[in-house]
Amino acid sequence: MTESIKLIAGNWKMNGVGESLEEAAALRVSLDAEAANCRVALCPPATLIERMSATVGGSAIEVGGQDCHAAASGAFTGSVSAEMLADAGANLVILGHSERRTGFGETNADVAAKVEAALAAGLEPIICVGETLEQREAGEAVAVVSEQVMQSLPQSLSCNAFAVAYEPVWAIGTGLTPTLEQIEEVHVAVRAAIVARLGAGGEKAPILYGGSVKPSNAKEILNVKEVGGALVGGASLKAEDFLGIIRAV
Ligand code: PGA
């Protein structure tokens, strides 16, 4: 069982312009008044990282990117490096989200290379794994997710801060969630895979659950064995919803 403090991270995906920072400002006001019982992070689009950092600077809210390139710099039009995210104020970065694995063809090896880049820039990676509905129905969820963990986590992680996020692809943005037993089964398997890969260095990293987390289901999910936090998409866009999840810790 993880001893780490829980991490509640909001993934804004490709949502948000300058005025959306009002939600981050509102969250900040609330968390300045009532300290959260967990770490809290917001991962806006890259264009907002610097302004988000200014908005929440000096508060307990951390800022993360949603992806980075594996290279430190160079001729990669349209891409953002880990160093650029750090320079803009991020201390975290989501890597290997299923929307990048499916939509942009990212492999486990690509994700592992990005993790190395994130570590080199001093960022804490949140490495996402998760099975498709087809794989779940074929009884392959544990095997698929364990394999993703083994292949996406480079050995260099063991002395660094990082998190893994288990996000069943079929639960993302659908309102569907696995049963608590299914969440526990996969989280326990993820822990075993992290430790198999990294040894003792993998015993404490938080394993977040992601996929349709909302204020009404957060408490029961966060109480499941080996659930070390949540990666929240839709419900992180509004301060009030995100606060409802933070308060469930
Ligand atoms: P969701 O997204 O909370 O909207 O299901 C989660 C995620 O994709 O990280």
The tokens of 38 are what?
A: 């967990």
Task: Give a yes or no: residue 187 inside a domain.
Answer: yes
Residue in 213, 221, 238, 245 to alter for ligand 1 test, most ligand atoms within 8 A of Cβ: 213
Which tens digits make up the pLDDT trace of 111-141? 999 999 999 999 999 999 999 999 999 999 9
Q: Is the pLDDT of residue 69 over 60?
A: yes
Place 4 in a pLDDT band, splitting at 50, 70 and 90. confident
Determine the atom of ligand 1 nearest the C-alpha atom of 235. 3
168 CA distance to ligand 1 middle (Å): 10
Task: Give a yes or no: residue 14 inside a domain.
Answer: yes
Q: Is the pLDDT of residue 1 over 70?
A: no
Task: Give a yes or no: residue 85 inside a domain.
Answer: yes
Which tens digits make up the pLDDT trace of 104-119? 999 999 999 999 999 9
Q: Is residue 183 within 8 Å of 221, Cβ to Cβ?
A: yes
Render the chain in DSSP notation, one character per residue.
---SPPEEEEE--S---GGGHHHHHHHHHHHHHS--SSEEEEE--GGGHHHHHHHHTTSSEEEEES--BSSSSSS-TT--BHHHHHHTT-SEEEES-HHHHHHS---HHHHHHHHHHHHHTT-EEEEEE---HHHHHTT-HHHHHHHHHHHHS-GGGGGS--EEEE--GGGTTTS----HHHHHHHHHHHHHHHHHHHGGGGSS--EEEESS--HHHHHHHHTSTT--EEEESGGGSSHHHHHHHHTT-
Q: Residue 15: which domain range?
A: 7-246
What's the CA gap between 120 and 133, in Å, rounded?
35
233 CB less than 6 Å from ligand 1?
yes
Q: Is the pLDDT of residue 56 over 70?
A: yes
Q: Which residues are catalytic?
A: 97, 167
Tell me what the mean pLDDT of segment 151-166 comes to. Answer: 95
Task: Give a yes or no: residue 159 inside a domain.
Answer: yes
| Per-residue model confidence (pLDDT) at position 242 | 98
Task: Give a yes or no: residue 2 inside a domain.
Answer: no
Tell me what the mean pLDDT of segment 24-50 comes to. Answer: 97
| Per-residue model confidence (pLDDT) at position 109 | 98
Among protein residues, the one with the nearest Cα to ligand 1's atom 7 is 233
Place 2 in a pLDDT band, splitting at 50, 70 and 90. very low
Task: Give a yes or no: residue 1 inside a domain.
Answer: no
Among protein residues, the one with the nearest Cα to ligand 1's atom 3 is 233
179 CA distance to ligand 1 middle (Å): 17
The predicted model scores a pTM of 0.97
State how many domains the chain has.
Answer: 1
Q: What is the CATH number of the domain that holds 242?
A: 3.20.20.70
Residue in 101, 212, 242 to alter for ligand 1 test, most ligand atoms within 8 A of Cβ: 212
135 CB less than 6 Å from ligand 1?
no
Among protein residues, the one with the nearest Cα to ligand 1's atom 1 is 233
Mean pLDDT of the chain: 97
| Per-residue model confidence (pLDDT) at position 150 | 97
Tell me what the mean pLDDT of segment 217-231 comes to. Answer: 98
